[in-house]
A and B are shown apart, each in its own frame.
Chain A
């Protein structure tokens, strides 16, 4: 059975189901209880489960994230909401130096079954400090797992997996995805962390994204199929650490060219890792350089005009696809018309 629901609803329902399933699942974060969450993911959960299990915290990211890690060491399974990924910087020491290290540094004696849910995303005129996409800070660190769903179905399946995993998982959400809708299967089927998905088969070009950019990739592929008859393959990374390199490389072996979409900055970004992976694993198959579509290298401005100029647009993606196909030569879109 399937139900159509929003990304937000899928997150909410999964949290609720997991709290019913396991007494050790507790929610912590700023404004998640009385206020019902800045983005209303936890709406109604305080009244259903009470303050013991839905814990409003002071504005103290380092303190409450660290406390969640410590509680996880004793067997609770805290799901922490950090209001936006920008604020996770306040907890960076606890996440990077502690959550990600405790299992290995002590020779496997303590586990940290922790989930940090946090949205990224720019484009809402929130200015330089509230619009960043810094998931790569966490994806950089062995010991962390980082997942980034792009659909309501994956939001459910990956959240189930994250909550039941015995390692710290950063669960990346995106402000622009919360109201998107999709089919969500009923039942209890966690996703496998560390696996990308080919969400659309095609032979002309591989379009790679995650979170919001995977959504964009599918949208663009559909549009270009309809308007240009292009046959674009889409890889949704879903997991940023571990990164499913095999799925990326196998796709590029089929299509011989790739465009990587990312909402972070280009330099040292997730796309750089993906492009390097393609170079390592599919060098002989490439017919064009791997193209990356990423943010301009500026602190994101407030002005709508400047903000729009700095962020990757729909047209930027389409142009990158065209230019890459031009470079491949044998597949000019014009020839297909």
Chain B
């Protein structure tokens, strides 16, 4: 999204420092609540990055840094009964769905108290009670699944909605087209959300998408769509509410949320493909700064309040990592617990060094 679009958004602090229009009381309360949540995600993700450098977290680790406003605005627009499918950049979504930061961090640490019992890791958070149905590491893999979940809802005639988030790069994979086509054909209750942070790893949207205004792709399926400023949590929330309402009425929706990725693709990516100017601009767009500043301008938060809120978030992150570190590692004896849901004959429980069949004694020589 261009600077023009962003600064034109209602209520967004603009780059030229002009004061945005005021908020209603309800909007003010909501923005304060959103901000508190955003700061929790920010501090959680920073703590996760530290856990990674401490080698307490392994594998890949993708952070929601810069996307906090989008995450909070999107999830707040869902009802508890609604389902969320997302990708591998999902720690913030899990927390926003109501899963305790302790259990999320424990999963990053690969411990038994993790949301996926240490089987999933950072990319595969799942909690059936909070209706977070993954956490998927394969780009685009979640789209057909989410579409099918919406099909099951539609089949049963119940009124939940499925939200399926993805990155901008995902719009170029075949599963995107196949899924949106099916959802539109079958009138499924689903909102597809593109988090457009303008970079798929290091490749820009313009370099990867022949139609870089990604929301316009919905036209191929006669699907309604919208584009919203993902650095503005209230705008994201309102746009998502409208999208969810449409989906609940059986009209799938494509919502493009234009956001920022403050750091590299994952914790190990130094993002050298960004220019110094781009990095500079990122800081001024950081939603934690802009929303915090707005709350101060609106008189909803003073410096002390902001600091207190930040301390609270840091304490939550610290508690999460302390909990994660104290949670036990899974026992190797549980290795074969989750291959099959229905136990099956001849399921092989063989460890790498073990023979398939017990060795027979060497035949003794006949005298």
Chain B CB count within 10 A is highest, among A67, A74, A104, for A67
Contact A107 B341 (CB under 8 A): no
Q: Which residues of A contact B284 (CB under 8 A)?
A: none
Contact A242 B347 (CB under 8 A): yes
Answer yes or no: A142 CB below 8 A from chain B CBs: yes
Q: How far is the CB of B342 from chain A (nearest CB, A)?
A: 4
Residues of A contacting B341 in the complex (Cβ-Cβ under 8 angstroms): 103, 108, 111-113, 166-167
A72 within 8 A of partner (CB): yes
- Does the CB pair A284–B360 fall under 8 Å? yes
Q: Mark A233-249, 1 if CB is under 8 A from B, else 0.
A: 00000010011111001
B346 touches A194 (CB 8 A): yes
A200 within 8 A of B: no
Q: B33 CB to closest chain A CB, in angstroms? A: 29
A310 to chain B, nearest CB (A): 32
The 0/1 profile, CB within 8 Å of A marked 1, for residues 135-147 of chain B is 1101001011111
Q: Are B126 and A107 in contact (CB under 8 A)?
A: yes
Residues on A with beta carbons closer than 8 Å to the beta carbon of B138: 93, 97-98
B151, CB-defined interface residue at 8 Å: yes
Q: By the criterion CB–CB under 8 Å, are A70 and B356 in contact?
A: no
Given contacts A64-B182, A73-B149, A97-B138, contact A106 B175 (CB under 8 A): no
Question: A107: which of B116, B149, B181 is its contact (CB, 8 Å)?
Answer: B116
Q: How far is the CA of A93 from the CA of B179 in the complex (A)?
A: 14
Asked whether B329 is an interface residue with its Cβ less than 8 Å from the other chain, the reply is: no
Choose among B115, B120, B126, B148 the residue that contacts A70 (Cβ–Cβ < 8 A).
Answer: B148
CB pair B124–A143 under 8 Å, yes or no, is no
Question: Contact at B145–A66, with CB atoms within 8 Å?
Answer: yes
* Contact partners of A111 in chain B: CB under 8 A: 341
CA separation between A110 and B355, bound complex, in Å?
32
Residue B356 contacts which of A105, A167, A192, A245 (CB distance < 8 angstroms)?
A: A245
Interface residues of B in 311-367 (CB under 8 A from A): 337-342, 344-348, 355-357, 360, 363
Is the Cβ of B345 less than 8 Å from the Cβ of A66?
A: no
Check A105–B151 contact: CB distance below 8 A. no
A94 within 8 A of B: yes
Given known contacts A70-B146, A110-B126, A63 and B182 CB-to-CB distance under 8 angstroms: yes
Name which residue of chain B comes closest to A106, CB basis.
Answer: B126
Contact B356 A68 (CB under 8 A): no
In the complex, chain B residues whose CB is within 8 Å of the CB of A143: 339-340
A277 within 8 A of B: yes
B185 within 8 A of A: yes
| A67 in contact with B175 (CB, 8 Å) | no
Instruction: Check A197 for interface membership: any CB of B closer than 8 A.
Output: no
Contacts of B136 in A (CB 8 A): 98
A73 to B127, CA, bound (A): 13
Asked if A109 meets B127 with Cβ closer than 8 Å, knowing A67-B151, A74-B152, A103-B338, the reply is yes
Also in contact, A66 and B342, with CB within 8 A (given A52-B155, A104-B119, A284-B360):
no
Interchain CB contact under 8 A, A108 and B337: yes
Interface flags for B149-167 (1: CB within 8 Å of A; 0: not) read 1111101000000000000
Q: How many residues of A contact B (CB 8 A)?
A: 57
Q: Are A107 and B346 in contact (CB-based, < 8 A)?
A: no
- Is the Cβ of A107 less than 8 Å from the Cβ of B117? yes
A292: Cβ under 8 A from any B Cβ: no
* Complex partner residue of A66 from B143, B181, B340, CB under 8 angstroms: B143
B357, A62: Cβ atoms under 8 Å? no
Residue A281 CB within 8 A of the other chain: yes
Would you give the shortest CB distance from B20 to chain A, in whole angstroms? 41
A69 interfacial contact with B, CB 8 Å:
yes
* 0 or 1 for each of A148-175: is its CB under 8 Å from B? (1 = yes): 0000000000000000011100000000
**A109 to B339, Cβ gap below 8 A?**
no
Q: With A58-B182, A67-B147 as known contacts, state yes or no: A106 contacts B141, CB within 8 Å.
A: no
B356 to chain A: which residues have CB within 8 Å? 245, 277, 280-281
B118 at the A/B interface (Cβ < 8 Å)? yes
Question: Separation in Å of the B85 CB from the closest CB of chain A?
Answer: 8
Given contacts A73-B149, A242-B347, A281-B357, contact A110 B133 (CB under 8 A): yes
Instruction: Give the chain A neighbours of B169 by CB distance below 8 A.
Output: none
Does A193 reach chain B (CB closer than 8 Å)? yes
- Contact A68:B340 (CB < 8 A) given known A52-B155, A280-B355, A284-B360: no
Chain B residues contacting A104 (CB-CB under 8 Å) are: 119, 338-339
CB of A76 within 8 A of chain B?
A: yes
Whole-angstrom distance between the alpha carbons of A49 and B345 in the complex?
34
Binding site for B on A (CB under 8 A): 26, 52, 57-58, 60, 62-76, 93-94, 97-98, 102-113, 142-143, 145, 165-167, 192-195, 239, 242-246, 249, 277, 280-281, 284
B residues with a Cβ closer than 8 A to A are 83, 85, 114-120, 124, 126-128, 133-136, 138, 141, 143-153, 155, 174-175, 178-179, 181-182, 185, 337-342, 344-348, 355-357, 360, 363
Could you jot down 25 A-B contacts, CB within 8 Å? A58-B185, A62-B175, A63-B147, A70-B148, A71-B149, A72-B148, A74-B148, A74-B149, A74-B152, A76-B151, A76-B155, A94-B141, A97-B141, A98-B145, A104-B119, A104-B338, A106-B135, A110-B128, A110-B133, A143-B340, A167-B341, A195-B346, A239-B346, A242-B346, A284-B360
**Known pairs A66-B178, A103-B340 / 19 extra A-B pairs, C-beta < 8 Å:** A58-B178, A58-B182, A60-B182, A63-B175, A67-B151, A69-B144, A70-B144, A70-B145, A74-B152, A76-B155, A93-B138, A94-B144, A94-B175, A97-B141, A105-B119, A106-B120, A111-B341, A143-B340, A284-B363
